[in-house]
Amino acid sequence: MAQDHLAKDVDLSQYENGMVFVGDDVWDLRRIVTNSTNSTISNLPGPGRTLDNIISRLGRSLERKLSFWAERLGYGPNAAAIRILRILKRLKMCPCRREKELKTSLPQAAAFEAILLDLLSTILNESPDGYFVDDGQGSKKCVRCGGDRGPDGFPSLQDRRDVQRNCKQMLTFISQGKTPTKVTAIKYVTVLTSSHPIFHEIFTSTGAITILESILSDSTRYFPASDPLLFSARRALISLGVTKVMSLAKDILLQSHFIDQNADKFEYRGGYCHLRIVRSKGSERTNASSAWDALTADSRYLMSLLR
């Protein structure tokens, strides 16, 4: 009440020394301003700050331990990446080595950098760890048992389903995890998509582009462009988008080649949309019509991606 009376009856700008007299009371303006300002400042010395620092440190320590055990129990992007790595290594190893090598070379939990390097080495190397040698006749032989190396890719439907399930888990971590988990999962998506077309096909078919676009649209207004989450999401989108554009361009080229080979079946009238199929013999008409429809649809989709 005294401060309200002071604000109403006294012009504070006239008192340069910070002291003002109101009746029998003497007011120190500097003390009033300081006290009112300090009362709203956070992190001031005192028992509250000490307790807050202790709780924060305990929380961070507990979070690290829970994350470590979650990885060992098979939850988290690193664990999903290790499961993918196990499948890839098993496909590239001769059966005589699989059981022993997979147990010793892949722990239940590992650091992101170690997993990433192992993934790239497994995907990109034609002969992992020197287990296979060229027999001079165009095939690879195991140096231990002499068996042929299996083909690249996923020879069984179950292997493909296992990889697809772990890729979907990566997308779940991106959608529902905390920011560090999201960043780690997005980095794996970027690397896997860029290193092998099978992973690009899996991630695009399971909605990775939509999830990444939603992260960018929801977070751009709140975070700077240099934010690790936004940077990782943008880089993953570029990787997925560029590969998609190249795949579409390849499809358009093949469709155009088919149409050129069957030019006598078409009649153009002033534009690419004004086209009439001249011959109408069963499968010829169906194939030509399908090729033209696909070419038109892919061209429009390609233009929408390039906008």
Considering the domain architecture, whether residues 64 and 16 belong to the same structural domain is answered as no
Mean pLDDT confidence for 152-178: 80
| Domain assignment present for 176 | no
Which amino acid, 192? L
Q: Percentage of the chain with pLDDT > 90?
A: 0
Question: How far from each other are the two terminal CA atoms of the chain, in whole angstroms?
Answer: 64
Does the pLDDT of residue 307 top 50, yes or no?
no
Mean pLDDT confidence for 259-286: 48
| Domain assignment present for 179 | no
Does the pLDDT of residue 171 top 50, yes or no?
yes
Domain total for the chain? 3
Q: Which of 133, 152, 171 is the last residue of a domain?
A: 152
Q: What is the residue-averaged pLDDT of the chain?
A: 65
Domain span including residue 84: 48-152
| Domain assignment present for 61 | yes
Does the pLDDT of residue 3 top 50, yes or no?
no
| Domain assignment present for 217 | no
Distance CA 50, CA 55 (A): 9
Q: Which of 152, 168, 202 is the last residue of a domain?
A: 152
Residue 207 near residue 164 (C-beta atoms within 8 A): no
pLDDT of residue 112: 73
| Domain assignment present for 236 | no
Give me 226's structure tokens: 């240099």
- Tens of pLDDT, residue by residue over 199-215, are 888 888 888 888 887 77
Mean pLDDT confidence for 274-280: 43
Mean pLDDT confidence for 55-71: 71
DSSP class per residue in the chain: -HHHHHHHH--GGG-TTSEEEETTEEEEHHHHHHHHHHTT-SS-SSHHHHHHHHHHHHHHHHHHHHHHHHHHTT-SHHHHHHHHHHHHHHHHS-HHHHHHHHHHH--SS--HHHHHHHHHHHHH-SSGGG-EEE-SSS-EEETTT-PBPPPSS-SSHHHHHHHHHHHHHHHHHHHHS-HHHHHHHHHHHHHHHHH-HHHHHHHHHTTHHHHHHHHHHHHTTTS-TT-HHHHHHHHHHHHHHHHHHHHHHHHHHHHHHHHHHTGGGEEE-SSTT-EEE----HHHHHHHHHHHHHHHHHHHHHHHHH-
User: Among 86-90, 235-239, 276-280, which is the least confidently predicted range?
Assistant: 276-280
Considering the domain architecture, whether residues 110 and 25 belong to the same structural domain is answered as no
- Tens of pLDDT, residue by residue over 288-301, are 556 556 656 656 65
Q: Percentage of the chain with pLDDT > 70?
A: 36
Neighbours of 214 (CB within 10 A): 14
Please tell me which of 18-22, 93-97, 269-273 the model is most confident about, judged by mean pLDDT: 93-97
pLDDT of residue 258: 61
Distance CA 45, CA 215 (A): 39
pLDDT of residue 126: 54
- More confident site: 71 or 183: 183
pTM, two decimal places: 0.51
pLDDT of residue 294: 62
| Domain assignment present for 15 | yes
| Domain assignment present for 168 | no
Q: Which of 130, 152, 174 is the last residue of a domain?
A: 152
